[in-house]
Structures are given as structure tokens and as C-alpha cells.
A and B are shown apart, each in its own frame.
Chain A
Amino acid sequence: MPRRDVSIAVVGSGGDGVVTLGDLVAQAAAKEGLHVIKTEAYGPQIRGGESSCAVRLAAHEIAAPADAVDVLVVFRWADFARFRGEIQVGHDALVAYEAAEERPDVAALGLRGDENIHWRPVPFAEASRAATGGTGSKNIVALGMLGELLGLPAETLRGAMERRFSKKPGLAESNGRAFEAGRELAAAAGAFAERRLSYAPSAPRLLMSGNEAVAIGALHAGCRFFAGYPITPSSEILHFLAEWMPRAGGSVLQTEDELAAIGAVIGGSFAGVKSMTATSGPGLSLMTEMLGLASMAEVPVVIVNVQRGGPSTGNPTKSEQSDLLQCLYGTHGDAPRVVLACSDVEDAFHATVDAFNISEEFQVPVLLLSDQAVGQRKETVSPGSFEHEVRERLAPTAEELEDYERYRDTASGVSPMSVPGMKKGMYQTNGLEHDTEGRPDSLYLTHETMNAKRYRKMWPIRDRYHSFRRFGPDTADVGILCWGSSMGPVQEAVAAANARGERVAAFVPRMLYPFPKRDFEAFVSGVGQLLIIELSYTAQYYKYLRTFLDLPPGRTHVLKRSGGKDLTAGEVADGIERTRALPAREAVAV
């Protein structure tokens, strides 16, 4: 029976071209107008380690990778074993594995019972050798096979290959032969047609990663200086901007460390150019020093933190939501900052523009929390969705420059900011506590007054930028509170629950600090039991919410675990079930 939603996964060694294969399927599907989410997972090895990717293709909108795949391609079982428990195959799934490999025992693979799995040995390596003389093209053989299986037009797949290998024209001919070999393998196997996707081709969609969406959002917002230090899983932001920032007339600096990266963007912004840096947990730890400087000197900067597993070096290639408290509270002193979170690829664009607008308009550092799951997954977005108002810094008027005070204690807390080149706008800024002119001043009264000035900006920021996503009915039996990349699986689980007649709602804020208390309270008051979901072993989000909200005692439950594998809609559904079934009790968190 044709399907409207199919997921495939491919597992192999680093050199097998697993990710290339996933990219080609995803690009071809996007070209056909399908909705696509593609995720990747690796071992920490640079080359030759285990590598996997999963692609979900659907004729309708999707919010998360599938919980289980319908088609699994395995080039090497030893690699599959290293993702034990992280890749699940669904009911009636097809597993096409390298025929030269012996299939291990199902239990050893960490898969559920095999009754409904169709095991199909496929001679990928042999077909590649016959077509090209080497086994290096087995991913293209698999592409040909998968194309037939899913019913993706061969012409579209060939187009995707052409674009992908445009810089290696020598590969065109051998790739073409490998691709045909794969199609023949599919034809020979016959019964594959049942995985065929049913869809009406429509306008092509843009396929991009969350990291790319951040970079594009920065350019859209007018960012013209980026400084960063390479770190997984955020480096794609540096890579994208290294190419595109100069084309937009801006500059990129690869610094010696994250201390220098945030220092440079504070310098660039002080000089009047919108500036951003991007990093992941370990880099953020280094940046917290100068996060405080940006806060104190009221210099607008945007800091993107693409979270990975922590603490320390942690799990560099895998996602987690455990930098929340670090972003909210990291750095010494009372240091105002704004913390935003993006929940999917399209949201990464909008949250980035919001981050710049807030930062520039209110002269405050803004931390944007992304994570590996959003940053490195590729997702289709509609081209028309990249529109977002851009706001600018408050510059002093000619009149204000006559008697200029950089840190004038205004009603809004925002003081007009001059930039070098303004004749009468000269001032010295400071990481030291300072008076309205920026001069060092250690008086208690000055410190109290300036703290109040800096924090006064938070409430208008909250009132203007408190955007959130809400799913499900206005009043519900179960209300879910989650943030960031947890949104996708929650959204899908909520839709499924409501389709079953259950009344489940979810609330996902883009703004985490300043805390949009009224929005949270309105949501909480409309639901019966509360379910808080997050990928943090110590339930950081739950703890944070408790500092601002009276979570109803006896009706609040927490679903939390370490990161390392993405949250699934199935887990959320289980959580909803348990929340509904459990007698009301106090929340328990580690």
C-alpha cells in the first residue's frame, strides 16, 4: 500500500558515503516538494568511524524525525551495533544489508522482535565493483535501489547527484553506472513497491540545517562581523559565514579560542557593526567571562550555543539540553542577558533575527540556545518563510550629542549608543562599574542605580518579544511544558493524542529569560496535569520553572533523561500515558 510518510536510515563506516546518500535522497525529495527531515549521527572518529543518517520523507508537514524507520540500509553490522538502542525499525520494516556480511542475531542488534522485519541481503559492494571497478560507489548503488523503492523519479535523483558532484565531473559516468545497478537490484527484488511514497509533486522546498538557518538569520538581521572558534556541533555556522559574510560585505575571524571570539565580537559591536559568535558548551564556558563584560558595558552581541552532551568534553556529536542553567546564570555578578531557544530549523532563522533585534535595541547580550538536533539536522522550509522585521540600535540625536552621556539613566534603561566616528560621542566604556559617563565608580549608590538601569530593560524586552508556540486545545487534561528541540516530538505526540480524542496541549517558549510569566501562567491554569519534558539528567528546565511558577502540587510530572539520542514522539506518548494514569503526586526530580 502506498504511504504518505516513509523513513529510511543508512548505517556504515565513515568512508561509505552514508551521509552523502542521505543528502541525495533528502535533496531529491525536497525538489519534489516533499517535507523532509534528515538527521545524522556519528562516532567521535574523524574518518572511518561509524556513521548513520536517517531521512523522513512525507507528503504532509512533519515536526520530528520518525521514531522508527521503514527501510534500513546496513553496510556493516559492526557499525550498526555501535548505535545500539538509537535506531529502531518499525513494524513491517525492510532491512537491506550488505550481502557479503553475515547477519548477527537480532537480540544482539538491540532491535525488537524480528517477526515483522523483512531481511534482505543486497550485494551493494559487488554491484558497485561490477559497475565501477571498486566498492566506493555502494552508496550510489543504494541510492538507485532506494529511489525505486520509494518511487522517487530517477531524473530528480540524477539531478541531485549532478549538483553534489559538480566539482568532480570524473565521477559522473561511474556514478551513473552504479546508480543504474542499484535500480536493477530493486527491480530484481520485486516486492519493494509496497514502500512507495504517494505524493503529488509540488514546488521545490528549501533544504537546510538549523546551523545554516542561524547563519542566514544573522545575515538577514544585518550582522556583518562573525568571530568564532571551531567546535562541534556549531562549526557549520562558521563555515557558512566564511563563504557568505564577505559576499555581504562583512568579515569573519577564526579566533585562537572562544575568549578571543567573544572579545572580538564585543569589539566589533562597540565599533558599531552588528556582531555574532557561535559555539557549543565548552566554548560557552570560556565565553562566560566576557558575557559579563557585554552585560556590564551594555554592548549588543549575539552568542549562539549549539548544545551537545556535557559536562566537559561530553558527547560532542550528540544532542542534549543541559546548558540551560549555564546560559541563564553563567558568569559572576548580576549580569543581565536574554536567553532565547529555537525549536526547529525555520525557528532558528526567526530566533536569530529576534536575538539581534533584542540585542541591538536594548544593548544587551543575547544567548540563543540551539542544539545538535536542530543545528545539524536538515529540514525542508518554504522559501517564503524567511521574512522578519529588522530593528536597529538607538543612536544619539544631534541634541543628545551636545551633552552626551553614554550611560544616561533613562526611563527605559536604554541609553543612546554612539559609535567611533561621532565627534561629540566620545566615551570610555568599562567592565568596571561606572557612572553615566562610563567612568569607573565604586560607590554603592552608583552600583545600585546602574544595576537597576541595566535590569529595567528586561521587562520591555519580555513584553515585546515573548513569542511562544502552543499546541492542542485551549483547555486540556494534560499540558506539556518543553523547550527547544523537544518541541518536534511533543508536537507530533500531542497531535496524535488529540486525534485519539485525548485532550493534550503543549507550550513551547522561544523566550526563556526574561521569563514570560503571564504566558506560562495562562497555559498552566488551563490544563489539568502538567508534564515537563527535557533532555537533562538533573531536570534543569523543571528547576528553572519552579523559580518562577507555582507548579500545581500533586499534578506535575517530569519526563527527563540524558541526551545522547533524540527525544521521540513515542517517549512523549508514554509520558502522556503515565501522567494520565498515575495518581496525582508531587513532582520528583533528581
Chain B
Amino acid sequence: MSATVELPTFEPADYKSDLKPVWCAGCGDFGALASLHRAMAKLQLEPWNTVVVSGIGCSSRLPGYVETFGFNGVHGRALTLASGVKIARPELNVIAVGGDGDGIAIGGNHFLHAARRNLDIAYFMMDNEIYGLTKGQAAPTTPAGDKTKSTYWGNPEPSVDPCELAISFGATWVGRGFSGDPKTLVDLMTRAMEHRGFAFLNVVSPCVTWRGDDQFRTIKAKLVALPPDHDASESFY
């Protein structure tokens, strides 16, 4: 048997646009972006047959930093645009990205229905538990009691877990990664994009500006990988 060596056509750098991200130094989104470049290279996605769609927020600037077709839409509506692209041109690779406020607050209803329809879209939610672009207000993912710009006396509302939502919405692939753990994140992003159907990946992506610069450390300390024999069907019900 002769060994054949397949040379990849696309390197991670091929997916990188020459636009410089607007993110703060130390932002978790850099790790998410770099992981996405690598995951796309792993799958050898043809850039011209790939569309990255987003809403509005820090992380929603991401389509500009990926060398594919891109659509930086309006706040909360990424999944509506992505659904239209996928239905009109099913052969395209469609990736939706955005933040937790974009996807759960203003766009929550679209999240439910995109998951329920199970269109073949990979949805990466970069979750920093805060509204960063508008400079530090509470998000649906901000823990109860936290003081933010908009919760001077402490956040009076309980937070939601994006993965629990996605599972209850009927998403057919659900995962959570951490932008400070690129190795696992690349693997999760790759599997989410490989999944035929609606894949939801919650990317814990710390905001060092509004959530404090110890975020990476505290999150890392809490990080636990699901065991390989984890049975997703037993998660909640």
C-alpha cells in the first residue's frame, strides 16, 4: 500500500482577512477567531462557498476578519439572515456568529426557531456575560447580583445558560468551549461545522475590559471536560 500525502489547499492564514480587529487587547474573541481560522482549514472550506453572518456587538465584527463572504447584519438578526442564505443556497457553508446579548436577548426568538428548524447552520455564540460594545451593561448571561453599568445595586435578574436553552430548543448539536483553550475549541468548532443540522457552540470568551482581567484565570479553574462517554440524551430530562 503506497502512502499518499494530501497537502491541504488552505492554511489557517488563508482564512484571515487583512482587516485589524477592533477588539481590546486581551479580548477572548481573538482566541475564538484564531480557532475558527484553524477549524475552517481543518475542514478545507472553500472560502468563496462559505458565508459568515453576524448581528451586532463586539464579537459580531468577526465576519470582517474572515476571508469568506460575510454579512455583518443588525442586532439580534444574524440567524434570520443565515437562514435565508442557507435556504436559498443549501450548498453553501453557513456560519452564524454573535454575542450572548445578540443571541439570547434581542435575538432570542430567532435562536429558538433556528434550532427548531434544524437548518444546517453552525452557530458560534461568543459569551462574555456582558454588553461590551455599549460599554458594560448587564446581559441575560450576567450572574445575578453582579454590579455592572446598568445594575448599580447588583443584577436583580437570574442568568440563563445558553447551552440549556439550545438543548431545550431542540438543537441537534450543542457544545461549550473556552477561547482560552484553543486546542479543544478548534476541535469543537470543527465538529459543529461538520454536523449536518443546527449546531450550537457556546464559546466562553472573556471580556477583560468590563468583566475584569482575572476572567481567564477563574474560568480556567472551573473548566471541566465532559467525559468521552457522556450521553447527551441524559443531560436534562
Contact = CB atoms under 8 A, between A and B. Distances in A.
Nearest to B68: A426
Contact of A271 (B19, B70, B84, B112): B84
A268 B84 contact: yes
| Most B C-beta atoms less than 10 A away, residue of A263, A293, A422 | A263
Contact of A263 (B47, B50, B51, B80): B80
A219 interface: no
Given A267-B53, A268-B88, A420-B48, A426 B81 contact: no
B72 A267 contact: no
B80 A420 contact: no
A267 B85 contact: yes
A439 B70 CA distance: 11
Contacts of B112: 256
Contacts of B53: 267
Contact of B84 (A264, A426, A429): A264
B88 A426 contact: no
A275 B109 contact: no
A255 interface: yes
Contacts of A271: 51, 84-85, 88-89, 92
B110 A256 contact: yes
A105 B85 CA distance: 61
Interface residues of B, number: 37
A264 B82 CA distance: 7
B83 A260 contact: yes
Contacts of B92: 271, 420-421
A428 B71 contact: yes
Interface in B41-74: 47-51, 53, 56, 61, 63-64, 67-74
A438 to B, nearest CB: 8
A109 interface: no
What is the interface of chain A mostly: helix, strand, loop, or mixed? mixed
Contacts of B63: 428
A265 B112 CA distance: 19
A428 B85 contact: no
B37 interface: no
A261 B73 CA distance: 14
A251 B87 contact: yes
B149 interface: no
Contacts of A47: none
B88 A272 contact: yes
Nearest to A252: B87
B88 A431 contact: no
B113 interface: yes
B38 interface: no
A420 B52 CA distance: 11
B109 A256 contact: yes
A257 interface: yes
A253 interface: yes
B64 A275 contact: no
A231 interface: no
B65 to A, nearest CB: 9
B74 A428 contact: no
A430 B64 CA distance: 9
Contact of B81 (A225, A270, A289): A270
Interface string A227-270: 10000000000000000000000010101110111111111111
Contact of B80 (A260, A273, A275): A260
Nearest to A289: B74
Interface residues of A, number: 44
A303 B62 CA distance: 29
A423 interface: yes
Nearest to B91: A421
Contact of B77 (A251, A253, A290, A297): A290
A420 B73 contact: no
Contacts of B50: 420
Contacts of A100: none
B73 A431 contact: yes
Nearest to A297: B71
A430 B56 CA distance: 10
A273 B48 contact: no
Nearest to B117: A253
Given A255-B113, A293-B74, A273 B89 contact: yes
Contact of A426 (B48, B79, B110): B48
B75 to A, nearest CB: 9
A224 interface: yes
A256 to B, nearest CB: 4
| Residue of A267, A271, A426 with most partner-chain B CB within 10 A | A267
B83 A253 contact: yes
A563 B28 CA distance: 56
B73 A251 contact: no
Contacts of A269: 84, 88
Nearest to A225: B88
B48 A422 contact: yes
A428 B72 contact: yes
B64 A439 contact: yes
7 contacts: A260-B113, A263-B83, A263-B110, A270-B71, A293-B74, A421-B49, A429-B70
Interface of B: 17, 19, 47-51, 53, 56, 61, 63-64, 67-74, 77, 79-89, 92, 109-110, 112-113
Given A265-B84, A439-B64, 20 more contacts: A224-B88, A225-B87, A225-B88, A227-B87, A260-B77, A263-B77, A263-B79, A263-B110, A264-B84, A264-B87, A266-B84, A270-B85, A271-B92, A289-B74, A290-B74, A292-B74, A420-B69, A421-B49, A424-B48, A428-B17
Task: State the 7 A-B residue pairs at the shortest beta-carbon distance, nearest first.
Answer: A267-B84, A263-B80, A428-B70, A264-B84, A268-B88, A273-B88, A267-B81
